[in-house]
Amino acid sequence: MRRINLGEIEWYHRLRNQLYHQGNGLTVERDKVEVYAELANVLFKNLFGSELVHSTKGSQQLLGEFMELWVELEAGMMSMAHDHSLTGAQGRTATWAAHYLRGDNLLSAEDRKEFQALRQLRNQVVHGKADHRTAITPAVIARLKVLVEQYREG
């Protein structure tokens, strides 16, 4: 099962609640709704093995693919870090795994920079600081796929 950060779903849920219960007629911006929907899709797929809704718009498909690849990258890096730990220690985040793998020479300096850049992009998209329709491109997906292949779980 692919891991997903439930804190991100909670952030969007709180945003929705604030607007619903304390709002003054404002609504959530469309790009935030699209990101929240893709997070829900990934969570649903993890729980039940199928997509809740299939994205048909190009930007939404890229967003969904990006989110799924990111979850796979995190899981693979964390699994590899755990497998190479002599004590079986396991951190709770992909950032911990990247730090551990870099220290153990299992993650190149170049790959760590790429991981950090993609992580920053992911955080900006998830928290509404960047518009996924322009930030996530086929080139970004290709860069992420390269990392996923190197650290694929299993």
Per-residue burial over 114-149, b if 16 or more Cβ lie within 10 Å, else e, is bbeebbebbeebbebebbbbebbeeebeebbeebbe
Q: What is the pTM of this model?
A: 0.67
Which CATH number is 112's domain given? 1.20.120
Residue 95 buriedness (CB in 10 A; 0-12 / 13-18 / 19+)? middle
User: pLDDT band for position 152 (50/70/90)?
Assistant: confident
User: pLDDT band for position 139 (50/70/90)?
Assistant: very high
30-39, 111-120, 128-137 — which is least confidently predicted? 30-39
Q: How many domains does the chain have?
A: 1
Residue 24 lies in a domain: yes
* Domain span at 120: 6-150
- Average pLDDT for the chain: 81
> CA 17, CA 60: separation in Å to the nearest integer?
24
Between the alpha carbon of residue 85 and those of residues 1, 13, 28, 82, 88, the distances in Å are 22, 36, 43, 5, 5
Residue 55 lies in a domain: yes
The tens digit of pLDDT for each residue in 73-102 reads 988 998 888 888 777 666 778 888 888 888
Residue 1 lies in a domain: no
Q: Is the pLDDT of residue 54 over 70?
A: no
- Residue 113 has a pLDDT of 93
User: pLDDT band for position 63 (50/70/90)?
Assistant: confident
